[in-house]
Chain A
Amino acid sequence: MGMTMTQKILAAHAGLESVEAGQLIEANLDLVLANDITGPVAIHEVEKLNKKTVFDKDKVALVPDHFAPNKDIKSAEHCKCVREYAKEHGITNYFEVGQMGIEHALLPEKGLIVAGETCIGADSHTCTYGALGAFSTGVGSTDMGCGMITGQAWFKVPSAIKFILTGKPSKWVSGKDVILHIIGMIGVDGALYKSMEFTGDGVANLSMDDRFAISNMAIEAGAKNGIFPVDEKTIAYMEEHSTKKYTVYEADEDAVYDAEYTIDLSALEPTVAFPHLPENTKTVSEAGEVAIDQVVIGSCTNGRIEDLRIAAEILKGRKTAEGIRVIVIPATQAIYMQAIEEGLVQTFINAGAIVSTPTCGPCLGGYMGILAAGERAVSTTNRNFVGRMGHVDSEVYLASPAVAAASAVTGRISQPSDLGL
């Protein structure tokens, strides 16, 4: 029986000729990741292991990004714990404030993960690196800690759902709209325990930043991973960012899928997920009159340079609506610098927005833009659960950078066409 792309990567890392869905395997890991929230729990757990040293100091990444720069004393202690562990164990890929960025934008940018590799991270959005053709999935702190020491993790080999993407998205439709559309279609548990494998000639029409956003939110459909085939764009990205040797895996012709969906990218419209689940999607045209208080443009989903360029294109020469707080968060220092060089930061500030240092901050209700009771935000982040960004009676509407920027100008959920764009 043929294997999916994910199954081939897992088989290769488990030293097996082939694997099939449901099989329990132990796979070798190429990268193990934690942050300032999950790292301290992992570090505390691994102290109980007999073996104390990390399996490979070059294959562990520790990124204080969630509540860093430290938002309070307790967060400062967590960051300190991660910092001291990294120093004690000589972890090569520890990124201090000044070098750090939001982990899932930072690691690909630093070239730490490439096609054909396996990665676990104690952060649910670790699935982002599927965009590069890697197997990568989120785990908890104990799994991460054990992976960091042993270099291995156990997996139940997933079955897969195939998404055949065709056509070319229109000007203001991005990867975010594609994945919100898919989650709306299959639900927040539509791919539970499974791989989402994206394929089809439409993939060539998606930029790497689009693909990162799509793979990033595979978890919001319950998926174990969301993976793209490797093409010219992937190779160009890896050659620009990494010196690591990559391996290209392709799904077998006779691979078996639990389901197949064909999605015509040219038919998609700017999409928004209403509270309090990412599956509550509507097109912006169907959204009706929804007044907002805040806009957030950033996160591991949509804080990349292309996201900022799109937002700036819309905000250039315009002003944010009166009374609306607009927060822009470049995901890494390199993206921040690029945004400065391209004049995007100037555009944001002239429009009335603020620009923050990289942090996960508001996405998970940490800091840098918490909502009060009754307030609504349009956000390019990934979750709109009850209380996600602040008070339990606040609301988060998930959307693309284009929709977020247009909404910032009008003060209600809008799309670029509402501004005549």
Chain B
Amino acid sequence: MKACGIVHKYGDNVDTDVIIPARYLNSSDPAELAGHCMEDIDTDFVKRVKKGDIMVANKNFGCGSSREHAPIAIKASGVSCVIAETFARIFYRNAINIGLPIIECPEAAEAIEAGDTVEIDFDSGMIYDRTKGTEYKGQAFPPFMQKIIESEGLINYINENK
């Protein structure tokens, strides 16, 4: 499985309140949530984002609330992968559970810039910055999580295994 797209770059501690503000949590419709994704820190994101694009951020991405609406909004906006130095733990679980690919890679998070074209090979964990001609090795998922991802989320994993 591969992803390839243009990078939207953010800093440290991107919290779930800015990924999808609580004032929109009276909806759980993915398309409606996607329409407000990132709007409190990046008002143009929704206009700019194209299918397949990649989000890159520094440490503690997705901190704060447990709202699964956050990875749902990112996925529904068309983003194919989020790369960060580290993820907040609930966001990490939620992303796996709903099938939004995420990769921890401090080097890539540091070096990749907004507007770069980046390709990711999920099988090898390799991240290629096609604009800069650089490559990085991201942290592969442990086998247990790979099984959940192969099942395309926790629901299918439970249906297949319990």
Contact = CB atoms under 8 A, between A and B. Distances in A.
Interface of A: 24, 37-38, 40-41, 44-46, 48-51, 66-67, 71-72, 74-75, 78, 121-124, 126, 138-143, 145-146, 149-150, 154, 188-189, 192-193, 219, 222, 224, 277, 364-366, 383, 385-388, 392
A386 B26 contact: no
A142 B65 CA distance: 15
Given A365-B23, A385-B18, A124 B90 contact: yes
A143 B92 CA distance: 12
21 contacts: A44-B28, A48-B159, A49-B155, A71-B26, A75-B26, A122-B68, A124-B64, A126-B66, A139-B66, A140-B93, A141-B68, A142-B68, A143-B154, A146-B155, A188-B63, A189-B13, A189-B86, A192-B88, A222-B60, A383-B15, A383-B17
Interface of B: 13, 15, 17-18, 21-23, 25-28, 40-41, 59-60, 63-69, 71-72, 86, 88-90, 93-94, 97-98, 142, 144, 153-155, 158-159, 162
A357 to B, nearest CB: 19
A40 B13 CA distance: 27
A192 B66 contact: no
Contacts of B98: 140, 142
A188 B69 CA distance: 21
Contacts of B94: 139-143
Given A45-B155, A364-B22, A366-B23, A37 B89 contact: no
Contacts of B13: 188-189, 277
A74 B26 CA distance: 5
B66 A146 contact: no
Contact of B65 (A46, A149, A364): A364
A366 B162 CA distance: 38
Contacts of A24: 142, 144
Contacts of B68: 38, 41, 122, 140-142
B119 to A, nearest CB: 28
Contact of A74 (B27, B63, B90, B97): B27
B17 A139 contact: no
Given A142-B155, A143-B154, A189-B86, A37 B63 contact: no
Contacts of A67: 25-26
A386 B15 CA distance: 9
A388 B98 CA distance: 25
Given A189-B60, A385-B15, A392-B40, A124 B97 contact: no
A49 B159 CA distance: 6
Nearest to A190: B60
Contacts of B67: 37-38, 140
A193 B104 CA distance: 14
Contacts of A44: 28
A138 B28 CA distance: 19
Contacts of B59: 189
A142 B90 contact: no
A140 B90 contact: yes
Nearest to A142: B97
Contact of A38 (B41, B66, B71): B66
Contacts of B72: 41
Contacts of A72: 26
Given A142-B153, A188-B63, A189-B88, A41 B69 contact: yes
Contacts of A138: 66, 90
A192 B26 contact: no
A141 B94 CA distance: 8
Contact of B17 (A192, A224, A385): A385
Nearest to B18: A386
B97 A140 contact: yes
